[in-house]
Structure 1
Amino acid sequence: MTRQSRTSPAGSERALHLAYDTALLDLDGVVYAGGLAIEHAVPSLAEARGAGMHLAYVTNNALRTPDAVAAHLTELGVPTEAGEVITSAQAVARLISEQLPAGSKVLVIGGEGLRVALRERGLEPVESAEDGPVAVVQGYGGPELPWGRFAEAAYAIARGVPWYASNTDLTIPGARGIAPGNGAAVEVVRIATGAEPQVAGKPLPPMHRETILRTGARRPLVVGDRLDTDIEGAFNGEVDSLLVLTGVTDAARLLAAEPRHRPTYVDADLRGMLTGQPEVTGGVDGFRCGSWTAAVRGDELVLERAGGAPGDPVAAGGERMDGLRALCAAAWTHAGEGSCGLDAGKALALLGL
């Protein structure tokens, strides 16, 4: 099976933290949400590290510096060094430094993470379009970023200055729910200028290259919660991925995923790193995983549980994931190279998803 034609989550006899040398972990929606650790994340990461797996934290959020992110993780109970944190600010700073001379002035629309990353690459951050910038870089600046910062970007870009963006994630998960991300702010500047930025963050190659350069990973596993950044980034980098359902992506979006958004493995949370992954078997007449069988009937995805009464809901989390894996196989096989539009409402209700 090629990556381009994945029609089912993969199985793994070995626990993933033993099968891969490095976990490239997203942060928001995977390790924490709204600054608080997600349930099971801290002990799962400790066990993986204790078994010899290298942990690296790869985030599209360009607001904080690697030092600040490492300190936060350490406070949560995940001991982390700054060198184990890779941000889209670092990726976009490298991209700019490869295209502009050392010492170039760059107008920063974002937070301290961008400024530190630019200085690391020998570039000079400035605050105004009147400071003579030869580039504009935009990254997530937090909910308090003043509206006037977008105007500064627009003024400089209108003069022909090249525009870079750390990432274009439209949303970011937080303690109170899903909030607008840097991609929403990029849209504001795009509307005002008609320009298009060069983007460095996931799922694009500059971020993957930055990650491999900084970690030296030989057999990495991308672990994330977003199909359009984490999983697509793994697809573009031709490495395996684990989707966890603790952030942005829900089961319905997963079933509708097109090939580049289909993860290698699926699990509820970071405990999935510590186990093998069950194999999905069968064919178009029905896909089996654990006690569940999924199939396509008409315009609907259906799910049946061996030994269970019709409509009987699942109780255990592991069984729930088995049912979802079987549904993924049925949906992705039916969709082929497209996106599955079948009704999965009843099947997901059986799983409590």
Structure 2
Amino acid sequence: MPETLAERYAGVVCDLDGVVRRGAQAVPYAVDRLLALRVPIVYATNNASLTPQDVANQLLGLGLRVGPTNVVTSSQAGAAYVASLFPPDSPVLAVGGPGVAAALAEAGLRPVDQAEPGVVAVLQGYGADVTAALLAEASYAIEDGATWVATNRDATLPTHRGIAPGNGALIGAVAVATGVQPSAATGKPEAPLYHLSVTRLGVPKTDVLAIGDRLDTDILGAMNAGLDSLWVLTGVDDLVSFARSAGRPVPTYAARDLRALDRPPMVPSVRGQTLRCGSVSLSVDWASGVLRVTDGDDPDALVAATTAALVHGRDVAGASVDALVRLAETAAARLG
């Protein structure tokens, strides 16, 4: 039997929202495919407000076998970074939800909630209950010389009611007050969250596959950390959004969903205007974006081939954005 994509790797770093779950519901096929993996998995999240145990409890509710050691948060990555700069038990102002303070304590630092004398750093992450008073404490500490580290810069936060301000928006409030920006950020798309995840897996990064749905966080973060990646179309980004944004990150593999883990890796080949992947053959007019699928009816192969076509059209053939969008819309319509 040919080697499957899952069998090619010794460890997996998996995003949560858009890959494993949508809100409180599991993404179709995700739980079964993740349970079938025979390699260690770390679930990496930019959500700084929750503790790893909180996240593990949510995943247990979906039917996954997971404990807090299988979860890595941007708060933990931020706390590890701060701990690399200062001695144990150094006071650090914790701004955000419970996950921020818990991560600092786990890293051997002393979380505080006021800009008391001697505070060496501010670790700022998202928290639904962050107040103007706490943001003011962050400003005071930063003005007094504390190192400012952000767990992530996500400007917005999708909720069941719509789009809410994310940690990046709260960072902006402190930046306006202080006139400075955080000295570092540790969540996706920065590399520290992935580096910590690879350390937790205990395997070489060349043997790790990162899975995500967002190109500008999950896939770019994997690239920044030097990891192979699988982009799935079950969350935020799709083929059309890939086409619309110039310079998007390039995933190693692309597929509809996590069922791709059970299949041999989809690796397209490009020859001029023709792209082949598995049983699928695409013919593309780079000037107009007209796409013809001349052979095969394999949705995963179509996603992989179209993704490769968009990259080639953008980076090699010099296709216009309008042409790339037309190509992506044609493929998306065929996928249904």
TM-score range, shorter chain: 0.7 to 0.9
Measure the CA separation in 2 of the matches of 1:349 and 1:16.
23
Normalization by structure 2: what TM-score? 0.88
2:63 corresponds to: 77
Normalization by structure 1: what TM-score? 0.84
Measure the CA separation in 1 of the matches of 2:35 and 2:320.
37
Deviations 1:190-210 (A, max 9, x none): 233221111112222322221
The yes-or-no answer on 1:245 pairing with 2:228 is: no
2:15 corresponds to: 26
Measure the CA separation in 2 of the matches of 1:271 and 1:175.
27
Deviations 1:18-68 (A, max 9, x none): 1111110011221112232222211111122xxx12111111111111111
CA contact (8 A) 1:34 1:176 kept: no
1:209 corresponds to: 195
What letter matches 1:41 in structure 2?
Answer: A
SS at match of 2:289: strand
2:321 corresponds to: 341
Of structures 1 and 2, the one scoring higher in RCO (CA 8 A, sep 6+) is 1
Q: Out of 302, 309, 317, which is 1:323 matched to? A: 302
1:220 corresponds to: 208
1:277 corresponds to: 265
CA contact (8 A) 2:283 2:294 kept: no
Q: Out of 3, 27, 31, which is 1:14 matched to? A: 3
What letter matches 1:229 in structure 2?
Answer: T
CA contact (8 A) 1:303 1:327 kept: no
CA contact (8 A) 1:33 1:174 kept: no
2:311 corresponds to: 332
SS at match of 2:195: helix
The yes-or-no answer on 1:128 pairing with 2:119 is: no
Distance 1:246 1:148, change over 3 A: farther
* Cα drift, residue 349 of structure 1: 5.1
SS at match of 1:221: strand
CA contact (8 A) 1:105 1:133 kept: yes
The yes-or-no answer on 1:183 pairing with 2:174 is: no
What letter matches 1:269 in structure 2?
Answer: D
What is the percent sequence identity of the aligned residues?
A: 39
* Cα drift, residue 78 of structure 1: 0.2
SS at match of 2:321: coil
* Cα drift, residue 178 of structure 1: 4.9
CA contact (8 A) 1:284 1:333 kept: no
1:64 corresponds to: 50
CA contact (8 A) 2:191 2:222 kept: no
CA contact (8 A) 1:60 1:167 kept: yes
* Cα drift, residue 132 of structure 1: 5.0
2:86 corresponds to: 100
SS at match of 1:248: coil
Measure the CA separation in 1 of the matches of 2:86 and 2:158.
34
The yes-or-no answer on 1:87 pairing with 2:73 is: yes
SS at match of 1:306: strand
Distance 1:268 1:47, change over 3 A: same
CA contact (8 A) 1:66 1:82 kept: yes
Distance 1:273 1:180, change over 3 A: farther
SS at match of 1:122: coil
1:170 corresponds to: 155
* Cα drift, residue 234 of structure 1: 1.5
Q: Out of 101, 123, 142, which is 1:157 matched to? A: 142
* Cα drift, residue 175 of structure 1: 4.2
Distance 1:282 1:119, change over 3 A: closer
What letter matches 2:321 in structure 1?
Answer: G
CA RMSD of aligned residues (A): 2.5
Distance 1:140 1:67, change over 3 A: same
- Unaligned 5+ segments in structure 1 are 1-12, 309-315
Measure the CA separation in 1 of the matches of 2:315 and 2:306.
14
* Cα drift, residue 285 of structure 1: 1.9
Distance 1:108 1:54, change over 3 A: same
Measure the CA separation in 1 of the matches of 2:320 and 2:218.
20
Distance 1:176 1:18, change over 3 A: farther
* Cα drift, residue 257 of structure 1: 5.9
SS at match of 2:12: strand
2:36 corresponds to: 47
The yes-or-no answer on 1:261 pairing with 2:246 is: no
SS at match of 2:28: coil
CA contact (8 A) 1:115 1:125 kept: yes
Distance 1:190 1:119, change over 3 A: same
